[in-house]
Structure formats: C-alpha cells, structure tokens
C-alpha cells in the first residue's frame, strides 16, 4: 500500500516544523542565559554618581555593549532563521546536522559572555573568544543557507534569485564584520571597533549604486521615448 502524496507532504512539513520549533527553543534559552551573566556590581549605599561612574562606568559600558552586540546578532540570526524555514519544503540528515552545529555555536555564547565579564583574565583573549564565537555563529548560518539554496537539494520553494542573492549577501556581510574584528584584535586590539563600520559603508555604497542604476535606466527610457 502506497502512502498518499498529501499525507507524505504533511509528514515532511511536520518534521520541518519540529526542527524550527526546536531551534527556537535553543536560541531563546541561550539568549536568556546571556542576560544572567550581566551582574550589577556592588555600588555601596553611600556612593555618589561620580564615584559610581569613576569606579564602574567603563566596565558597565563595555559589558552592556558586548551584551547588546551579542543579543542583536543572535536576534538577527533568529529572524533570518525563521524566515528561512518558512520557505523550506524538504530536508535531510545533513541539513539537520548543520542546523545542530548552528545551534551549538549559539549555545556557546553564554559561556563567551561569562568569560568576557570575568575580571582576572587576559583582555585580548576575552575579546578574541567573544568575537570568534560571533563569527562562528554567523558562519554556521551561512553554511545553512548554502545547504538550503543548493539546487541539488531542492529544500526551498524560493525561486527568486535576486532574493536568494540578497539573503546570502546579508549573511556573508555579518560573517565578514566579525572576521575583520578578529583580525584587528590579533593585529591591534584597540582598533577592533573599526569592523562595525563595514555594514553602514556597504549599505551606503549599495544605495549609491541603486540610485545610479535608476538614473541610467530613466535616462535610457527618456531617450527611447
């Protein structure tokens, strides 16, 4: 007796939904554990704002920024992961393994945050471990995209090549930022923040190209008319 095609499709979609729901749970837990590592130092009941800022201002600012960057990165990856699975219609064991590797890199972030917030550890090593974790997470998601949009696998029903290219470019851009940050940390720790200017710079260039292309297209149409 053969399985009905509709029943088989429903079964496949059910398994895909399970992968997505499991991923959501792991990411949500990792994000929650990250915030638990952010601890307010003992300020003292008689401490003045100036004393608090002098003693703990730099530390709180650094930790707050690190937590924000990690949360923003993983939140962004989760949003893209959610949108990606909306278009997935098939899967195999390899896709599950890549997704598990992606989730494993997310699970490491609370450890990276905890190490970053530690007091008696080498500063460069803490930053290196932190950005390495963010890079690996972004790279793992890029691996997931490569598997999903591989035409041989037929995992996605998204056929618009422009959208697929845009999705891939956004993912590669995130990986590039953290890779550049890692390289700068190795070369000169004080310059790692320069890497975060890559995204706005690329967007400015992209918008400029779009405007130039639009103007040229309009000029060509006017000449034809």
Share of the chain above pLDDT 70, in %: 83
Our measurement of the distance from residue 154's CA atom to the centroid of its chain's CA atoms, rounded to an integer in Å, reads: 24
pTM: 0.80
Asked if residue 35 lies in contact with residue 66, where contact means CB atoms within 8 angstroms, the answer is no
Number of domains into which the chain is organized: 1
Q: Which domain holds residue 144?
A: 5-224
3-state secondary structure 167-224: HHHHHHHHHHHHHHHHHHHHHCHHHHHHHHHHHHHHHHHHHHHHHHHHHHHHHHHHHH
pLDDT digits (tens, 9 = 90+) for 106-151: 999 888 888 888 878 888 888 889 899 999 999 999 999 999 998 8
Distance of alpha carbon 198 from alpha carbon 179, whole angstroms: 11
Pick the closest to residue 22 from 88, 100, 90 (CA basis).
100
Task: State whether residue 151 is helix, strand or coil.
Answer: coil
Pick the closest to residue 140 from 23, 32, 13, 33 (CA basis).
23
Tokens 């990986």 identify what position? 175
pLDDT digits (tens, 9 = 90+) for 18-51: 999 999 999 999 888 887 776 666 666 777 777 7
């Amino acid at each position: 007796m053969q399985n009905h095609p509709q029943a088989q499709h429903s079964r496949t979609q059910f398994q895909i939904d399970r992968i997505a729901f499991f991923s959501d749970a792991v990411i949500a837990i990792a994000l929650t554990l990250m915030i638990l590592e952010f601890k307010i130092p003992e300020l003292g009941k008689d401490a003045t704002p100036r004393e608090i800022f002098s003693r703990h201002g730099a530390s709180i600012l650094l930790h707050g920024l690190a937590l924000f960057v990690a949360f923003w990165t993983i939140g962004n990856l989760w949003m893209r992961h959610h949108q990606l699975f909306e278009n997935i219609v098939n899967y195999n064991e390899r896709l599950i393994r890549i997704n598990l590797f992606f989730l494993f890199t997310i699970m490491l972030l609370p450890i990276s945050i905890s190490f970053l917030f530690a007091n008696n550890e080498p500063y460069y090593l803490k930053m290196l471990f932190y950005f390495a974790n963010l890079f690996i997470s972004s790279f793992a998601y890029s691996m997931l995209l490569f598997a999903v949009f591989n035409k041989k696998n037929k995992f996605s029903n998204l056929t618009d090549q422009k959208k697929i290219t845009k999705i891939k470019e956004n993912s590669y851009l995130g990986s590039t930022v953290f890779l550049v940050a890692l390289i700068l940390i190795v070369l000169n720790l004080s310059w790692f923040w320069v890497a975060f200017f890559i995204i706005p710079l690329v967007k400015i260039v992209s918008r400029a190209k779009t405007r130039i292309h639009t103007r040229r297209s309009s000029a060509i149409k006017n000449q034809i008319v």
